[in-house]
Structure 1
Amino acid sequence: MEVIVPCHDGHMSDEPELPPGYPVQWEADVVLRDGSVGHLRPIMPADEKRIRAFHARQSEESIYLRFFAPLRHLSDKDVHRFTHVDYEDRVALVITVRDEIIGIGRYDRTEPSSAEVAFNVSDHYQGRGIGSVLLEHLAAIAQEFGISRFTAEVLPQNRKMLTVFSEAGYEVSRKVEDGVVALHFDIEPTDRSKAVAMSREHRAEAISVSRMLRPRTVAVIGAGRSPQSMGHHFLKNLLAAGFTGEAHPVNGNAKKILGRKAYDTIGDVPGHVDLAVIAVPADKVLGVVDECAAADVDALLIVSAGFGEAAGDGGDELQAELVRRARGSGMRIVGPNSFGLINTDAEFSLNASLSPDQPPTGHLGLFAQSGALGIAVLASAARRNLGISTFASAGNRVDVSGNDLMQYWIDDEDTHAVGLYLESMGNPRKFSRIARNLGRIKPVIVVQSGVSSYGTPPGHRVRRTKVRPAVFGAMLRQAGAIRVSNVHQMFDVAQLVVHQPLPAGRRVAIVGNSSALGALSAGAVAQRGLTVTHGPVNLRSDATPEDFREALTKAFDDPDVDSVLTCFIPPIAAHDEEVTDAVRAAAQKSDKTCVATFLGMRGVDSSTSMDEGGASGQAIPIYAMPEDAAYALAKATKYAAWRNKDHGLPVAPAGINRRVAEDVVQTVLSVSPEGRRLDADETSALLSAYGIELWPSRAVETVEEAVQAAEDMGYPVVLKSTAPMLRHQGGITGVRVDLANDQSVREAWASLHERLSPLAADQLEVQRMATPGVACVVTADEDPLFGPVVSFGVAGLPTELLDDIAHRIPPLTDVAVSELISSVKAAPVLHGHRGSTPVHRAALADLIARVSVMSDDMPELVSLRLNPVNAHPGGVEVLGAEVTVAPIERRADPGRRSLT
């Protein structure tokens, strides 16, 4: 994120004067507890006037609680000490809104591993979680400099600050001395402290979205009298949907628009404005944003185009300035270039969009990015009679994204399933984390058309990725998301998971009135990995609705059936509605999943008929073809299995010394600031800090050196080439194994030199002979977009030729590690293929767990490759390792709350 220094006119300067050593990477926009945004940054000498103004606004009580004295005025010496820090032993952070400091947090190192921490929060902003945010960021920074413990002194009556410490998730010790509460606690992240931080992030971001989707007052800025104007459309649709709140047009050139009084500026609108819809030319937007900030508007929906998507016209710079001004003033943005927001809840009836018709009320939450797709998505849902709870179009996605909407949908009782159409993804690591939480209670259906360089739309801010597209699919599977290829498939799945119970298993019954359709249905079901355990039951083509009811009842009552697929070809004399009633009546008596294929029909059964007990039944999803029904059923079944399984516990291997590993990395980077590959000793030290033993090897240049190395290590040994080219040449052998004496070493040396010298691949090394086993590859890569990615494969042809490699995104659970091992196609060779003894799977899993924790802990670890990893019945040995470290600016999801 760029460093932004507020100017005295309230705007943001893009030419800041920064003090030496100013840590740009600590800057962050954070969502506060009430859903507003604050800008967190390190303090600077230029903040002297702001510090004095902040202190002058504080009450006498707040001053006393902070300084233990009625310090009404700060001395020049105090102000200088507060604002001049070294950004290591003395660190101070401020949170600002509209160029005004609203919170200060600082630590001062008192011992090599301990620092005293203190906070001061504006009286006008207390209760918004500012102290908690500052503590979280200070703790993360302190750990970068070897500080592991915080201390603090707090007056007993300062209950708010005591609460900040006690509720942060740390184990806090307290002691009262001389009327002051002395606290101390370790700041190493714990499962509890991480859970607290993520819970606070979730609540804050959910509230910020709620303020947009549940407004009481909406102002449409740029609403014109012309029916062709964008603002006119938004105001018209807002009023036509019956918005229950106040809707105000803002236009300085009109007195009334659509019967509503028009106001000259947003500042003239009476009362508080929750949501401002901005529909003015792009070059006017920044001025309007400043006016909204002055009017204390909560959130902005910007429908104007001409920003990042307008390449070559200064759109990127305009878009960046838009984000700076809005967030710097505490406001969140949907857009620009957004299609709009919809909330069908009758309490709000919000249609702040370009859709002329409000979608039917329902339980599917929808998110799209481009406006054109928004139109297609809403139209498709309407055709299927599939009701929507809420809809959002992110446009250029400069701020509010699908991650924010998912945070909101976790708690939204009106949303039972979620559909996301993603054209790009700015923070996959955070997406994975949030989607896992949402997916455990609600299905998440994802249509993905591009990731980073793979088809990113103009205007979307996305870091470039170095990983293969397969990593994105692995991330979705790990998060439990239901991945589909297009909108058609998304709604096929949605109409099932919204309106039917999830399948309890893979067993399917098929009932229909056509043998050809029954066979087609059975084939489609089997092709999707499901099993037909009942039928196909083929009724006569002229079967009556009662025949259908009876056959379906038998299918639902069969204990070997989890789901029922019924298919119907209507003869000339039959009535579709009568058959639909029969299907509905049979399904209402069962808690099993039901899907129907009525040729030529697609959507959701809209009947409101009641069952025999007077209760409203589940609507039946209807598909035009059996293949569509089988596809949706298979996706729902797979999701249900993921949701119901044991997801395991976070891996926490014993014997890890993170401080030693960090010392190794920082020592290397202090000498090689651009980063480099570690040498053998450095690699061994780094891996050892995480409990991974690297088998020693010795490079040799002569046969006598090889013999000596073998004697030092102890026979038997291996003599092998270190040339990288041989790893990719399956037909060339560059290794001699099981060398038991000096004569065998000499013979191996002569053989390899004769074979490899013409290829310039005769660089050799000696290593102790390992137990025969299965050679595996374990890697970890730090990707600019995805963050750490851990991969596993069986070495040799499976990985080099067949690309049989599995991926996961840390942090991992023990179940995720086990699934990573099992997910490669070559996994049977690990489990006793053709009578061989299975490898020590627990030891292999422990190694992968250690690699995952290391990669998650250390973003500077840009590449780690353990190859080969020898897995055998007695354990695993790491026979080779390559590690490259380099500095990185910041992860997209850095481990402390931040908008990216």
Structure 2
Amino acid sequence: MSVDVGSRALLADGDVVLVRPLHPADTAEVLGLHTRLTKQDTYFRFFGARPSALDKLAAEIAADPRPGHYAVGCYLRGDLVGVANYEVLSDSSDAEVALVVDAAVRAQGVATLLMEHLVSYARKAGLKRFVAEVLAENAKIIHVFADLGLRFEASVGGPERDVVMILEEDATYLDAVLKRDSVADAASLTHVLKPASIAVIGAGRRPGSVGHAVLANLLAAGYPGHVEVVNPHAGEILGVPSAASVAELARTPELAVICLPAAAAADAVEACGARGVRAALVISAGLTGTPAGTRVREAVSRYGMRLVGPNCLGVVSTDPVCPLNLTFLAGAVQPGNVGVVTQSGGVGIALAESLNDLGLGLSSLVSTGDKYDVSGNDLLMWWTADRRTELAVLYLESFGNPRKFSRLARQLARTRPVLAVRSGSGGTAQRAAASHTAAAATPAVTRDALFEQAGIIAVDTVVELVDVIAGLSWQLLPGGPRVAVVSNAGGAGVLAADACEREGLVMAELSADTRERLAKLLPHEAAVQNPVDTTAAVPAEVFADALRAVLADDGVDAVIAATVPTAVGDPGTSLVAVVPPEYKTVFAVRPGQRARVAPLVPGTGVTACYDDPAAAAAVLARLVRYERWLNQPDTGGSLIPLENPDALRAFAAGREGWLPPAAAVELLRLAGIPMVETTYVEAGDSMDAAAADLGSPVVLKADAEGLLHKSAGGGVVLDVRGADRIRDAFRTLRSRFGSALRGVTVQPMAEPGREVLVGVRSDPVFGPLVVFGLGGVDADLIADHAARLVPLTEADADLLLDSLRSAKALWSGRLDRAAVRELLLKVSRLAELVPELAELDLNPVRVRSESCVALDVRARFERPTLTDPFLRRLRD
């Protein structure tokens, strides 16, 4: 059996600790921790004096994990500073919990961290409640229990308190855990982004070297802290004193920047850890997949350091209190309000240069490279507390903990825009998928569902990213999708209108008053309908008045103003007076301008000016979708309760592989999902008894090895009437499929309706994904489907219903949308409760005016790897 070596985690002050299960070898340390307790702590722990058999108690606590017992310890720089354990009460799903924390670290959140790890393990073990008996005087431990975020009850009166904690994972508890995680993470990243002292290890005297460039950029940024260099061949570099080794530095740096070849970089990280350095930035490449890379990981864990990289561009912060530029960027970095985390150094360089060109700047930039430790999740937590960052940008090639990422990004996106560049979209086809759901749930679909649910504005290229940053930086979000186009060049206006419609925006219908006002302002040949064509003959002042008239229309949420200069004048120059930032959203378009996007007037924040109407429309559409997401109620999770969750869990226990048809039907019954009445007959059995009991007409469906598309594969016989015909159809299917036939499903013919598909596909990294689309024969013919990650909120379910290309036509009739919505939420809840459910395919689901019902079901189970994505721990 593998031994759980534990995981690194953060205390409230940013210290890195190791949290791991205890074993008999830890008995002496457990005894030592209890022996060091103060007189008051001993009284609180034992309700009196220290017990005489303390060594026996220590051995019991440090016993190996087993059903009914679990103990976890917290190690700070190798010393045991806290222990939490539970003992299950006899024949119960309740467990009694106990805590001991060294007084020296009492205010750093050790007790809370240990309790979170204990809660996570207890849930996996199926426990329902923690109970404890606490002295009323022991207010601190009562507060620890009460503030966890769990449902909490405590008795009142008397010298003791009976405490109960309900071990349900709800939004309140997750929010509390993430809040504590964010505080601790921000404290630890202070060593990276606001260090009091820095050592650059490997800075050379040669200007062309990476280390020299990093040191030069640091000095040019005006970093106010203490700086030293490690270079055994120089006494000073760029005026900075140099030491021969890490051990010989004049003082222990808070942050070490390592610019050395791979093998030497590993030596440097180990030396930094031994010296007590709190964080390392490893710019060096060539470590991953080598023994040197393994040494770096082990040193970071052993010495409790934070690490950025390796193989990265570096770190930038423009905070005026502690400006630093620890990169090899070619030029200075302009201060601004854009925070960037990127796995690609090249993307970081391109983005920094583009923002400089626009007159925008960075609040911070962290290049995570091979991402041994610090990741995108860390920066999401940092930016949550950093008010200088008003816009967050992500370039991530992989997700270590996507469920935690989703919750963090959703939290941040509620207060400021979060942008991401899609990457890794290739290879999305799953040609050997065993169900329609699996075929639809590609990696790109899963990633896009993650972004959309978290409120992330996703783009495909760095160029598009810069377009959106410019649009967000100088204009408010649009109040809705209704767009008007005003142009002095008819062709540009038409192109803009076409682009808006392609992007799903609504061309606003101008009011009669607006059209009348425009007719009085403009030449008679002008077009006063949307798109408005002022004609090229109007001077700038008249164009400005026309734009004001359109902006005053209550039916307009945003305007694209496309202008070209003429001999009469340049209407573009009039926009500055018309577009104050507190008014409706206005984007300018100047066909033929040299830059793809630029400020309308250099050095000002009036609005973004694009060289093409399509670019402006694409940005506007993304901003409209983000505004719509912001206006959704944030309910936090699936709201559909299932009647008997314990029966579902019991049903799932121990199952693997595709369920037999009868078992799949039973799964739906337990989940409260409507399924047409179904009878299953084994291939070798007689149909006589079933035929005698069945009404007419019925449909027979073959359950055969390798038969996915039943209709196309000849596996469905419709509208069969009478016992004799039923037996004949059964024999036909047995003859058609031979030994591949496992059995036949018989169902009453369903009433006519629209067929849709609802399914679940569980991803080992992202978790379960709910898929919705057109079903039946349309599933493959049209391939119109959408997906959302579990858990679905009510808003997610509504968006899923409206995300199909055919959604407008689908719901324009009298179909029971509410029933399908409820079905989606029940399927989501089923996937939450039963992690063994790897795949579910309800295809088709027949939707009518007053109901929906599944006509066919396939379900696959596999043994899940139970991990807690929200447990506070650092990357291993």
TM-score (norm. length: structure 1): 0.86
Is the 1:513–1:540 contact (alpha carbons within 8 Å) kept by the matching residues of 2?
yes
Which residue number in structure 1 is paired with residue 593 of structure 2?
A: 600
List aligned pairs for 1:562-573, cutoff 5 A. Answer: 562-570=557-565
Matched, 1:859 2:835: yes
Is the 1:364–1:498 contact (alpha carbons within 8 Å) kept by the matching residues of 2?
no
Amino acid of the structure 2 residue aligned with 1:665: A
Distance 1:284 1:95, change over 3 A: farther
Is the 1:706–1:765 contact (alpha carbons within 8 Å) kept by the matching residues of 2?
no
- Cα deviation for residue 233 of structure 1 reads 1.6
- Cα deviation for residue 688 of structure 1 reads 4.2
Aligned with residue 850 of structure 1, among 821, 826, 837: 826
Is the 1:862–1:886 contact (alpha carbons within 8 Å) kept by the matching residues of 2?
yes
Q: Distance in 2 between matches of 1:51 and 1:45?
A: 10
Which residue number in structure 1 is paired with residue 321 of structure 2?
A: 347
Aligned with residue 640 of structure 2, among 646, 653, 656: 653
Which residue number in structure 2 is paired with residue 719 of structure 1?
A: 700
List aligned pairs for 1:101-120, cutoff 5 A. Answer: 101-111=80-90, 112-120=92-100
Aligned with residue 588 of structure 1, among 557, 576, 580: 580
Which residue number in structure 1 is paired with residue 77 of structure 2?
A: 98
SS in 2 for 1:424: coil
Matched, 1:391 2:365: yes
Q: Which whole-Å deviations, capped at 9, do the CAs of 1:368-404 have from their partners, x for residues lacking one?
A: 2122222222112212222222111111112222222
Q: Which whole-Å deviations, capped at 9, do the CAs of 1:491-547 have from their partners, x for residues lacking one?
A: 011011122111112233334443443333333333333344465455565765544
Determine what percentage of the aligned residue pairs are the same residue. Answer: 33
Q: Distance in 1 between matches of 2:37 and 2:256?
A: 31
Q: Distance in 2 between matches of 1:248 and 1:826?
A: 63
List aligned pairs for 1:736-775, cutoff 5 A. Answer: 736-737=717-718, 739=720, 741-749=722-730, 752=733, 756=736, 763-775=743-755
Amino acid of the structure 2 residue aligned with 1:509: A
Q: Distance in 2 between matches of 1:122 and 1:452?
A: 52
Distance 1:489 1:86, change over 3 A: closer
Aligned with residue 630 of structure 1, among 595, 606, 617: 617
List aligned pairs for 1:822-861, cutoff 5 A. Answer: 822-827=802-807, 831=811, 833=813, 837-838=814-815, 840-861=816-837
Distance 1:646 1:391, change over 3 A: same
List aligned pairs for 1:169-318, cutoff 5 A. Answer: 169-175=149-155, 179-266=159-246, 269=249, 273-308=253-288, 314-315=289-290, 317-318=291-292
- Cα deviation for residue 98 of structure 1 reads 3.0
Q: Distance in 2 between matches of 1:23 and 1:563?
A: 56
Matched, 1:886 2:862: yes
SS in 1 for 2:66: coil
SS in 2 for 1:127: helix
Q: Distance in 2 between matches of 1:209 and 1:378?
A: 21
Aligned with residue 78 of structure 1, among 30, 43, 57: 57
Amino acid of the structure 2 residue aligned with 1:854: L
SS in 1 for 2:829: helix
TM-score (norm. length: structure 2): 0.88
List aligned pairs for 1:599-748, cutoff 5 A. Answer: 599-602=592-595, 603-605=597-599, 618-648=605-635, 650-668=637-655, 675-679=656-660, 682-683=663-664, 686-692=667-673, 697-700=678-681, 705-712=686-693, 717-723=698-704, 727-728=708-709, 730-731=711-712, 733-737=714-718, 739=720, 741-748=722-729
Which residue number in structure 2 is paired with residue 502 of structure 1?
A: 477
Distance 1:369 1:468, change over 3 A: closer
Which residue number in structure 2 is paired with residue 133 of structure 1?
A: 113
Q: Distance in 2 between matches of 1:318 and 1:74?
A: 47
Q: Distance in 1 between matches of 2:755 and 2:459?
A: 35
Which residue number in structure 2 is paired with residue 522 of structure 1?
A: 497
Distance 1:42 1:635, change over 3 A: same
Q: Which whole-Å deviations, capped at 9, do the CAs of 1:231-264 have from their partners, x for residues lacking one?
A: 2221110110111333332334433222122344
Is the 1:703–1:749 contact (alpha carbons within 8 Å) kept by the matching residues of 2?
no
Q: Distance in 1 between matches of 2:810 and 2:567?
A: 59
Distance 1:144 1:684, change over 3 A: farther
SS in 2 for 1:728: coil
Is the 2:404–2:870 contact (alpha carbons within 8 Å) kept by the matching residues of 1?
no
Q: Distance in 2 between matches of 1:785 and 1:704?
A: 42
Is the 2:791–2:832 contact (alpha carbons within 8 Å) kept by the matching residues of 1?
yes
- Cα deviation for residue 303 of structure 1 reads 0.6
Which residue number in structure 2 is paired with residue 12 of structure 1?
A: none
Is the 1:752–1:762 contact (alpha carbons within 8 Å) kept by the matching residues of 2?
no
More moved, 70-79 vs 503-512:
70-79
Distance 1:535 1:788, change over 3 A: closer
Which residue number in structure 1 is paired with residue 464 of structure 2?
A: 489
Distance 1:247 1:553, change over 3 A: farther
Q: Distance in 2 between matches of 1:654 and 1:606?
A: 53
Is the 1:97–1:329 contact (alpha carbons within 8 Å) kept by the matching residues of 2?
no
Distance 1:347 1:280, change over 3 A: same
Which residue number in structure 2 is paired with residue 461 of structure 1?
A: none
Amino acid of the structure 1 residue aligned with 2:593: G
Amino acid of the structure 2 residue aligned with 1:721: A
Is the 2:600–2:609 contact (alpha carbons within 8 Å) kept by the matching residues of 1?
no
Q: Distance in 1 between matches of 2:247 and 2:31?
A: 29
SS in 2 for 1:664: helix
SS in 1 for 2:606: coil
Q: Distance in 2 between matches of 1:491 and 1:300?
A: 30
Is the 1:794–1:827 contact (alpha carbons within 8 Å) kept by the matching residues of 2?
no
Q: Distance in 2 between matches of 1:430 and 1:678?
A: 31
Is the 2:418–2:457 contact (alpha carbons within 8 Å) kept by the matching residues of 1?
yes
Aligned with residue 404 of structure 2, among 421, 430, 434: 430
Amino acid of the structure 2 residue aligned with 1:172: F
Q: Distance in 1 between matches of 2:264 and 2:683?
A: 75
Amino acid of the structure 2 residue aligned with 1:500: Q
Q: Which whole-Å deviations, capped at 9, do the CAs of 1:690-718 have from their partners, x for residues lacking one?
A: 33465564443589932312444666543
- Cα deviation for residue 486 of structure 1 reads 0.8
More moved, 120-129 vs 538-547:
538-547
Q: Distance in 2 between matches of 1:519 and 1:377?
A: 32
Distance 1:872 1:560, change over 3 A: closer
For structure 1, the 5+ residue unaligned runs are 1-19, 309-313, 456-464, 610-616, 669-674
SS in 2 for 1:355: coil
Is the 2:581–2:606 contact (alpha carbons within 8 Å) kept by the matching residues of 1?
no
Q: Distance in 1 between matches of 2:365 and 2:277?
A: 21
Q: Distance in 2 between matches of 1:384 and 1:765?
A: 65
Matched, 1:89 2:89: no
- Cα deviation for residue 648 of structure 1 reads 4.8
More moved, 326-335 vs 248-257:
248-257
Amino acid of the structure 2 residue aligned with 1:224: G
Q: Distance in 1 between matches of 2:593 and 2:257?
A: 41
